[in-house]
Amino acid sequence: MTNVLICDPVDEGAVKKMTQAGLKVETKKGIPPAELLKCVGNYQALVVRSATKVTKDVIAQGKNLKIVVRGGVGLDNIDRAAAKAANIEVQNTPEASSISVAELTLGMMFTLCRKLSAADASVKQGKWEKKKFAGRELWKKNLGLVGIGRIGFETAKRAIGLGMTVQAYDPYLKPVPESITKLGIKMVAQLDDLLKTADFISFHLPLTDKTKHMINSRTLGLMKPTTVIVNCARGGIIDEAALAEAIKSEKIAGAAIDVYESEPVKPDNPLLGLGDKILLTPHLGASSKEGQARVGEAVADKLISYFEKK
């Protein structure tokens, strides 16, 4: 019997599918790190989302582990080097949540620029402050995408449909796929050039040593005072203290942030208290009903396929 431990929330349909395929599935949502270390040796497979960290110690204790599947895009919460050394396969489901994250990216841009959150709160307080909430359009604005993988491409398609122009920076995309040039996305060779010209800048790349704090005091200083930045990718790409200062000093117009350097957000986070110039959400990227179902199904399919081949 193949034992599977699900550590983070996964769609119930996926659990049923795995069970029907003959896998013995146990769910321990939000399992504490110490408990995971004690029990991981009992399982051949782990399923995680973004919350559970599959550390070097977890890998070392997972004497029977064959595979770890991350439901989602990134793999930065899994020690891949340790897994490789232990001959443990690591997979993720980058295709499943792309549409949900792309829609959230555009939704956050609309919400921030039309001041929807503040306007909603105002009306619910019995006020009618129509002139106070005049906003900005996305139409004919330039969207700069830092990273143009699956999510970046889905975002670009929707932005172009809204009448935006799109440019992208991605040094790892060589050669550039024909689908990108056909869509009308302009590729730029230097990140600084994108930062200087974009009206909106959205990030779609993993957190690595190279991308950590790539948006900092220097790079924020390159942006136009009307620029809005959006991060639905990974916390840590943006230096939060530098971003807060840039918004306070009006070096940029605002930001919409879904991911943070430390999650959950702590009370002393510098992004709090910036008013309607910033929109903050609690890591909702893939949190749509449809997205969750696709992620769960992809996780189930990958596990079933892996063990059928063994």
Take residue 189 and report the two structure tokens written for it: 């060779």
308: left (phi over 0), alpha (psi -120 to 50) or beta: alpha
Distance CA 116, CA 113 (A): 8
Which residue among the candidates 49, 70, 136, 234 is catalytic per the annotation? 234
Which residue among the candidates 49, 136, 150, 283 is catalytic per the annotation? 283
Tell me the helices (H) and strands (E) count for the chain, helix number first. Answer: 12, 12
Take residue 275 and report the two structure tokens written for it: 């008013």
Within 8 A by CB and 6+ apart from 179, the residues are: 153
Distance CA 63, CA 1 (A): 16
For residues 196 and 252, the answer to whether their CB atoms sit within 8 Å is no
Which residue among the candidates 35, 95, 129, 263 is catalytic per the annotation? 263
Q: Known catalytic residue: 204?
A: no
Q: Known catalytic residue: 263?
A: yes
Distance CA 53, CA 38 (A): 14
Within 8 A by CB and 6+ apart from 58, the residues are: 33, 36, 37, 40, 79
What backbone torsions phi and psi does residue 294 show, to the nearest 5 degrees?
-65, -40
Burial call 70-102: b when 16+ CB within 10 Å, e when fewer: bbbbbbbbbbeebbeeeebebbbbbebbbbbbb
> Where does residue 189 rank: exposed (0-12), middle (13-18), buried (19+ CB within 10 A)?
exposed
Distance CA 79, CA 204 (A): 21
Active site residues: 234, 263, 283
